[in-house]
Structure 1
Amino acid sequence: MTSLSRLILDPGHPAVRADLADVDSLHKTLMRLVPDHAGPTPRARAGLLFRTEPGPDPVLLVQTANPPDLTALPAHYGTARTLDLTPLLNSLTLGRTVRYRITAAPTVARSAGNPTPHPVTGKRRGKITHLTGDDALAWWQRRATAAGLETVTITSLPRPFPRTRVTRSAPYFTLTQFDGLARITDTTPLTDALKNGIGRAKSYGAGLLSLAPA
């Protein structure tokens, strides 16, 4: 049962302040909501996706493949409300117009001039390039189409990369929030995108696709 939780955080709580100052710490805190998972990709196995919502108060949307264990959060961390997304997933129908929101990390792998092929696939490794502006818009249109959505309107807003205590010369990724209207063209890839997210940087608060009735 895929679940979505809305967490209104207490900005005065020391654990909240620590997590908002370090996205790696926030990711570890949110992983406490899901059962332990073995293997190299525990976040993906748990279906954990999250997004910081814009606004004056710290609000997190957290999606998990199963109902989260909210008691695993630090005491008084914040207030939470959890919804079962099954009715939403069951309501997806061809031609339906929906509102969408996603904060994503638009990137492209550009392999020109890279002579070294991947040792397993044989493909040439590309350098990951972060996309902004019109390139980011084009990226989202491609990814939305692949996810079974025909975009009708798009607005975009650059979002700051979540803070981390690790000092680096540049952010891990460049984030953009996309909002708008879209028509459903294929429910199978759309269901997959809703459950598993879109794009890179999912451990850093990117990739969670949200839909609502138009």
Structure 2
Amino acid sequence: MPYLSRIPLAPLRTGTRKLLNSPQAMHAAILGGVAYHPDPGRTLWRLDADNPHRPHLYTVTQVEPDFTALVEQAGWAVDNPHAKPTVADYKPLLANLEAGQTYAFRLTASPVQNTRTPQKPTPDQAARTAASTKERAPSHRLGHRTTHHQLAWFTSRVHKHGFELLTLPNTQDPAPGILPLPNTDTSGADPLLDVRVMARDRLVFNKTLTGPGGAKTGTTKVTVTTASFAGTLRVTDPVELARALITGIGSAKAYGCGLLTLAHPRSNQ
């Protein structure tokens, strides 16, 4: 039975700064909240820091979590209902999804492409290519760096995840500096899809490698390109959308990518 949790973080605390600066440390702290379960299943998380003074951590866990230790490390030490974490049973929302429903959504993902000929290969990629034959050249995973390609990556995947994007009214202008991709499946004048990139980032950090028994064997450099998408969707396949909500979209799920959340759209009035 999945659970959706929302944890307000206190950004000035030493423990919070450690988690904000290391996706690996954040992932480990979240897994600590379900470590007492013999089979916790897939855990998703996302950090929303639109307001850097009040960041929020969202998680989806397959079992009911206990984030007491995480809150003691990085939460607010005040008696305020808005500063307290909330944990909600996700099953009612998943069970009530129906085709035709509309929701506002948010997703932080890692838009990537696979290529055998990277323009600027890293030393590791160059070594892998040099060690291969022309007939069996390795495929390298590269992150999309531009807003246009990130939007194209996302819009090409929405249907297989059980939803479609709504369109903006003809009189509504897109967000300044960000042009959503046109819906090329519509005949006549192409309306703009209601999706935008709210934030983009390129995370570079060292990942600790461990061997048998958990012994540290070294570190490796990890680079993750992320994009945060927001807009309005319409449900087309409730089963596939529910699957996306609890298993995530795209790669780099251990580093804060893949968690899609829904909310009722705001009234036009």
TM norm structure 1: 0.83
Partner of 1:154: 195
Is residue 51 from structure 1 mapped to residue 46 from structure 2 by the alignment?
A: yes
1:137 maps to which of 151, 157, 160: 151
Bigger Rg, structure 1 or 2: 2
Deviations 1:146-196 (A, max 9, x none): 101111211113322456466x9x861211111111111111211111010
The percentage of aligned residue pairs carrying the same residue is 31
- Aligned-residue RMSD, C-alpha: 2.7
1:128 maps to 141
Cα displacement (A) at 1:75:
2.4
The structure 2 residue matched to 1:68, chosen from 60, 65, 68, is 65
- Distance in 1, matches of 2:108 and 2:19, equals 19
Which digits, 9 at most, give the CA deviation of each residue in 1:43-63, with x for residues without a partner? xx5321111112132211111
Gaps of 5+ in 2: 76-83, 119-128, 167-193, 208-218
Aligned counterpart, 1:109: 114
Q: Deviations over 1:26-84 (max 9, x none)?
A: 1111110113577xxx8xx5321111112132211111111111234362631311111
Q: How many residues align?
A: 202
> Is 1:22–1:163's contact at 8 Å kept on the other side of the alignment?
no
TM-aligned CA distance change 1:148 to 1:108, over 3 Å? same
Does structure 1 retain, via aligned residues, the 8 Å contact 2:15–2:73?
no
Structure 1: segments with no counterpart, 5+ residues: 118-123
1:94/1:125 CA distance change after superposition, 3 Å: farther
Aligned counterpart, 1:28 = 28
Q: Is the 8 A contact 2:203 2:225 kept in 1?
A: no
Q: Distance in 2 between matches of 1:162 and 1:106?
A: 13
**What secondary structure, in the 3-state scheme, does the structure 2 residue paired with 1:155 have?**
strand
Deviation, 1:125, is 4.1
Deviation at 1:143?
A: 1.6
The 1:125/1:184 distance shift into structure 2, 3 A limit, reads farther
* Pair 1:89–1:116, CA change in 2 (3 A): farther
Counterparts of 2:148 and 2:254, CA distance in 1: 25
Of 7-16 and 139-148, deviating more is 7-16
CA distance in 1, matches of 2:204, 2:37: 26
What SS does structure 2 have at the residue aligned with 1:75? helix
Partner of residue 203 from structure 1, selected from 221, 236, 254: 254
Contact 2:203–2:224 (Cα < 8 Å) also in 1? no
